[in-house]
Amino acid sequence: MKRRESIKTIALASFGASMFLESCYGVSREKINRSLTRYEYGRTPEETLYDDQLFAQKFFTNYELVTLDKLCNLILPPNEFGSISDAEVVQLIEFMAKDIPSYQDPLRNGIVWIDKESQSRFNNPFIDLDESNQKQILDQIAYYNTEDNMNDLPEPVQWFNLVRNLTMTGYFTSEVGIKELGYKGNFPNVWDGVPQDVLDQYGLEYDKEWLDKFVDQSKRNITAEWDDDGNLIT
């Protein structure tokens, strides 16, 4: 999306630019709900009720969501695998802010700080700066002395660390992020049975009928079925 002039951005933020936000960034309440509940398994009724209560709320303003989108894209720019938009990172941050209330003040105060810093240095809100100016501001908080105690770091530095961690977590736990990592998960190996020389040591051998049924790799993707008497029929 092309950057808007300051006057347009301020106007959109003032009037609650829901349609603008949802069409350009896709962070509507419905999409946040869908992106985080597409996998329905593993939720108890109590957990589902808790999630529904969070989905019914909205924490960030539209303007704050747009700012987070800009920040996340600077932290992790799009590449051939996907983008933070594909990974729905901003939706995750919105949900996490409601799920972990201790995130709320740091996240919101950081957005206020970066806009004040942008206005002070470049006379525009952060989302309207060109990328080089945005990076100038971020560089002063992104490359801080990491040997210091994290709790003693300036608040803007702690805020950026939080946003960066949420961005990376959101992206690399998404489908596109996992694809970029090259993670394949657990796949069943091809098992051809106990080697014959080992069986010979114990005076054993496979029954030909059962060997064909259980070790024939051409049938490894066939789901087993039994008749009413418990006999294997596949």
Euclidean distance between CA atoms 114 and 156, whole angstroms? 8
Residues 137-149: pLDDT tens digits?
999 998 876 565 5
Residues 47-61: pLDDT tens digits?
888 888 888 888 999
Q: What is the pLDDT of residue 36?
A: 55
Calculate mean pLDDT across residues 127-154: 82
Residue 87, amino acid: A
Of the given ranges (35-49, 190-204, 205-219), which has the lowest mean pLDDT?
35-49
Q: Where are the domains of the chain?
A: 6-181, 188-234
Q: What is the pLDDT of residue 47?
A: 84
Euclidean distance between CA atoms 87 and 66, whole angstroms? 16
Residue 98 scores a pLDDT above 70: yes
Residue 90: partners with Cβ closer than 8 Å, 6 or more residues away: 25, 27, 65, 68, 69, 72, 84
